[in-house]
A = this chain, B = another copy of it.
Amino acid sequence: MANIREIAALAGVSVSTVSRVLNHHPYVAADKREAVLKAIHELQYTPNRNAVNLAIGATRMIGVILPFTNHPYYSGMLEGISAHALEHHYDIILCQTNYDVAEEERALQMLRDKLVDGIIVCSKQGDWALFETYASYGPIVVCEYTDSPYLSSVYADFYKSTIEAMNTLIAEGHRRIGYCLGRTNSYNSQQRLAAYKAQLQSIGEEVREEYCFFHCYHFDEGAEVLRSMLAFSKPPTALLVAGDQAACGIVIEAGKRGIQVPSDLSVIGFDNIPIAKVLELSTFDYVSYDIGTTAFDTFYRQWEAQAADSGPVEKHELPCQIIARSTVGPAPKKQ
């Protein structure tokens, strides 16, 4: 592989001139430019990206931290990030963590070690303090709410949307409402749970432990929830489900077990994944794609603005609309 010095020698100019041609600087005479281009073509030269990165102190790469990709919530976000990264000629380094904090830290170190210009955190397990520690090395954008003054944040208001979902069900006369969530300890889950409890309280219903299901991510986990409900003497008449995959699992399993949706059981999902439409699932249009694009744009502004120091942190709340389809109906009369 040829390097810039060989090009300079072949073209009969200095390396500075070659570099100028490469970077479209003005002040290069037409004939020398021609000579350089000819030499580049002859030797099939392309700059070594590592040398460029080292010299300019930037890589046009961004690290994306997420637990896994085989879930529409994250792959949607990734699509969004990817789309806007492409536009700005950025590449993505994927840091799949499986919610392992050590992996999260390893990803953050890439920022410190100059391997990436910034970090987007789709979901995390570690404390905010961990992420704040690395914020001085470059922009970090988190796809979750945080009031940290060091971290940018792009999020939807899950408290608000959960209230809305609950009110929708309550308006249909439901009182025995269950909730299916993913993790117990995330900020998002806690917000949702708080809203759930608040609205139950507002109609004078107590919170029943057995109506709250956790670790519901996938289709079969949703199906499992429905099966376990069969044993209840007083099963919920409505379920709020934090992810469409689990919600679809519930709806499909209900169909198999002869439970009519929505006349026996109402279901509201979250995410609006493609299959939700096919199954006519009522859900929330949490466009994870938009979260992704906004997160990238936020990073990019911060990066560009960091002329002297670091650009200002941004906070963006994205809307999250309910999509009424066919899985919500009035509560059954006799209970």
Interface residues of A (CB under 8 A from B): 46-51, 53-54, 59, 61, 64, 68-72, 75-76, 78-79, 82, 86, 91-96, 103, 109-110, 112-115, 218-220, 222-223, 245, 248-249, 252-253, 255, 274-275, 277-279
Are B82 and A75 touching (Cβ within 8 A)?
no
Report the separation of the CA atoms of residues A72 and B219 in the bound assembly, to the nearest whole angstrom. Answer: 13
A275 touches B275 (CB 8 A): yes
Query: Complex formed: what's the CA distance from A79 to B94 in Å?
Result: 11
Given known contacts A76-B70, A93-B93, A94-B82, A50 and B279 CB-to-CB distance under 8 angstroms = no
Given contacts A218-B274, A274-B218, A278-B253, whether A110 and B49 have CB atoms under 8 Å apart is: yes
Quick one: which of A69, A248, A279 has the most chain B CB within 10 A? A69
Chain A interface mostly helix, strand, loop or mixed?
A: helix
Sample (19) of A-B pairs whose CB atoms are under 8 Å apart? A46-B109, A49-B110, A49-B115, A50-B53, A53-B53, A68-B79, A70-B72, A70-B76, A82-B94, A91-B93, A92-B94, A94-B94, A219-B275, A219-B277, A219-B278, A222-B278, A245-B275, A248-B278, A252-B278
Q: Which of B82, B91, B96 contacts A82 (CB 8 A)?
A: B96
**How many copies of this chain sit in the oligomeric assembly?**
2
Contact across chains for B70 and A75 when beta carbons are under 8 A apart: yes
Contact B86 A103 (CB under 8 A): yes
Q: Considering residues A64, A72, A96, which has the most beta carbons from chain B within 10 angstroms of its beta carbon? A: A96
Considering only CB atoms, which chain B residue lies closest to A288 in the complex? B70
From B59, B68, B93, give the contact of A50 (CB < 8 A). B59
CA distance A49 to B75 in the complex (A): 28
* A48-B114 in contact given A70-B75, A218-B274 (Cβ < 8 Å): yes
In the bound complex, CA of A47 to CA of B249 (Å): 48
A117 nearest CB across to chain B (Å): 12
Interface pair A91/B110, CB less than 8 Å apart:
yes
